[in-house]
């Protein structure tokens, strides 16, 4: 028998308006450590569980509910967490938390708390004292609300699943991660050994006409984004940790070596004109990453924080970005498409920098157990993030530790879209016309990693409900 995590009560229900208001109580506590399961966030799949559990009665030994939701999905489907993550929005289009009470609990309140509160005929002892919140929910069909009446109450063993919570307003601005529009296999067109090789850099040209990819061993591919055809496959020479960058304003690509912290960059690079299909001479491209307009570049510094200096085409003058005040080395970076923001991902923390001043204007502590790669949309309103999965607590992958591809809405720093992957995310790039998100995915392998198996998944913008 499952232990209830929450209690749910119906405060209002308007089937014709496709909305209801629910109060959710936390009914499971650890008084000794003064902790409790968190209140649900605004993800639809937790509330899909709540509504499914509200359907009265059962259908025999199969334990399937008799209400409309019970007939629309089976128990096994609902308990398949990946299915619930993917399909919850077919039933619940929006959740908004509108009120919180008794959170956080004071020391005096904890003195009166118990570990478990049991439902008795739709009520709970000391109900008004429990940690609780009210939620407005919108559904996709009035029949999902038909079993509800004001005052109904029931216990729920559901728990937060880190599911999608994007809204119709977000949809035009974020990628559809359900299925790539195209999948590219760069290493399949090459020759020679690919042992130890993998994608270590990927970037759209400033006008979005091309997507360039560079491997750890200096292989370079360029794809025409109109038809996703491979137009260049060449080799940029031997570099220790090659670093790829477009020359601003055109279709010239450069590859150079990764500069050492605190040392001047060696002004040596390989340059290739994609339009002419030829190696060329080009102005040296300073730094490790540039903004799309070329006005801002970053170079790692030797500061005690482990961060970057922000500068222009010349190394001097520069802003030393003081992001943490302590040792917190940056692992991944991204400029917004309009060049107004620089995003710095440390191992777990995320920092937002104003590029005009070099000042940190926002930060997210414990953004992830580990951040690996970032990409920003045009105005910096949304971030694509490759990170350790948030779902490992309930998906059984054991030592095969995959990544998750997430989308952050930076207005409120919430993860609104995510897909569990059975691959690693090596690189991300968001197209300047906001049409595509490209992800370089390294598959899990029993033979080891970095063996030329990487795929490029290109996701279109605008997720839709089924």
Rounded CA-CA distance 57/292 in Å is: 59
The conformational region for residue 358 under phi > 0 = left, psi -120 to 50 = alpha, else beta, is left
Mean pLDDT, residues 437-442:
95
The rounded distance, in Å, linking the Cα atoms of 294 and 307 is 20
Q: The tokens of 387 are what?
A: 């990170």
Helices (H) and strands (E) in the chain, counts: 5, 31
pTM of the predicted model over 0.75:
yes
Domain boundaries in the chain? 6-156, 171-460
The answer, yes or no, to whether residue 260 has pLDDT greater than 90, is no
Q: What's CA 215's distance to the chain center, in Å?
A: 24
- Distances from the Cα of 15 to the Cα of 10, 68, 307, 455, angstroms: 13, 13, 53, 46
Residue 195's pLDDT is 76
Output the pLDDT for position 464.
Answer: 62
SS3 assignment, position 456: strand
pLDDT, tens digit (0-9, with 9 covering 90-100), for 393-411: 445 554 555 688 999 999 9
Residue 58 has pLDDT above 50, yes or no: no
DSSP state letter for 240:
S
Please state, in angstroms and as integers, the Cα–Cα distance from residue 335 to each residue in 205, 231, 289, 435, following that order: 14, 27, 8, 17
Domain 171-460: assigned CATH number: 2.130.10.10
Cα 13–chain centre separation: 33
Collect contacts of 279-285 with beta carbons under 8 A, ≥24 apart: 280/252, 282/247, 282/252, 282/254, 283/247, 285/245, 285/247, 285/254, 285/256
pLDDT for residue 354 is more than 70: yes
> Quick one: tokens of 146?
């038909």
pLDDT at position 209 over 90: yes
Average pLDDT over residues 311-335: 91
pLDDT greater than 90 at residue 88? no
Structure tokens that stand for 340 in this block: 């107004």
Q: What pLDDT, on a 0 to 100 scale, did the predictor assign at position 122?
A: 84
Integer Cα distance of 362 and 378 in angstroms: 18
Alpha carbon distance 198, 90 (integer Å): 37
The average pLDDT across 34-58 equals: 83
Is residue 162 within 8 A of residue 415, CB to CB? The reply is yes
194's CB contacts (< 8 A; 6+ apart) are: 187, 217, 451, 452
Report the pLDDT value the prediction gives residue 59, as an integer from 0 to 100. 42
User: Among candidates 370, 454, 420, 459, which has minimal Cα distance to 180?
Assistant: 459
pLDDT at 64: 56
Provide the 3-class DSSP secondary structure of residue 140: coil
Q: How far apart are the first and last CA of the chain?
A: 34
> What DSSP string runs through 176-211?
-TTS-SEEE-GGGG--S--TT--EEEEEE-TTSSEE
Predicted confidence at residue 434, as pLDDT, reads 92
pLDDT at 466 over 50: no
């Amino acid at each position: 028998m499952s232990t209830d995590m929450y209690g749910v009560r119906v405060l209002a229900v308007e089937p014709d308006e496709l909305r209801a208001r629910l109060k959710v109580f936390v009914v499971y506590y650890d008084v000794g450590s003064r902790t409790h399961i968190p209140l649900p966030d605004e993800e639809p799949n937790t509330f899909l569980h709540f509504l499914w559990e509200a359907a009265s009665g059962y259908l025999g030994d199969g334990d399937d509910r008799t209400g409309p939701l019970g007939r629309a999905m089976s128990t096994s489907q609902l308990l398949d967490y990946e299915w619930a993550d993917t399909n919850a929005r077919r039933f619940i289009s929006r959740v908004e938390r509108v009120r919180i009470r008794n959170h956080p609990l004071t020391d005096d309140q904890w003195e009166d708390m118990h570990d478990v509160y049991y439902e008795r005929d739709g009520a709970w002892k000391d109900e008004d004292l429990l940690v609780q919140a009210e939620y407005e929910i919108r559904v996709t069909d009035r029949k999902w609300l038909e079993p509800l009446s004001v005052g109904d109450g029931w216990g729920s063993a559901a728990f937060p699943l880190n599911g999608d919570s994007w809204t119709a307003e977000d949809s035009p601005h974020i990628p559809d991660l359900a299925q790539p529009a195209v999948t590219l296999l760069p290493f399949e067109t090459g020759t020679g050994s690919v042992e130890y090789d993998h994608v270590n850099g990927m970037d759209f040209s400033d006008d979005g006409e091309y997507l360039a990819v560079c491997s750890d061993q200096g292989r370079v591919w360029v794809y025409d984004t109109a038809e996703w055809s491979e137009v260049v496959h060449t080799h940029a020479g031997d570099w220790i940790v090659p670093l790829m960058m477009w020359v601003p304003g055109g279709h010239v690509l450069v590859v150079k070596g990764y500069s050492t912290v605190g040392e001047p960059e060696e002004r040596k690079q390989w340059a290739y004109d994609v339009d002419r299909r030829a190696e060329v001479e080009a102005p040296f491209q300073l730094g490790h990453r540039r903004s799309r307009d070329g006005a801002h570049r970053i170079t790692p510094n030797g500061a005690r924080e482990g961060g970057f200096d922000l500068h222009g085409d010349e190394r001097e003058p520069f802003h030393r970005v003081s992001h943490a005040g302590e040792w917190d080395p940056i692992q991944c970076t991204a400029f917004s498409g309009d060049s107004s923001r620089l995003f710095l991902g440390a191992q777990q923390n995320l920092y937002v920098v104003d590029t005009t001043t070099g000042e940190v204007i926002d930060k997210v502590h414990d953004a992830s157990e580990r951040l690996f790669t970032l990409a920003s949309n045009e105005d910096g309103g949304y971030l694509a993030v490759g990170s350790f999965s948030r779902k490992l607590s309930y998906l059984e992958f054991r030592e095969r530790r995959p990544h998750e591809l997430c989308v952050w809405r930076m207005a409120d720093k919430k993860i609104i879209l995510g897909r569990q992957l059975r691959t690693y995310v090596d690189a991300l790039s968001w197209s300047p016309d906001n049409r595509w998100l490209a992800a370089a995915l390294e598959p899990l392998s029993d033979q080891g990693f970095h063996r030329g198996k990487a795929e490029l998944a290109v996701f279109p913008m605008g997720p839709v409900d089924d």
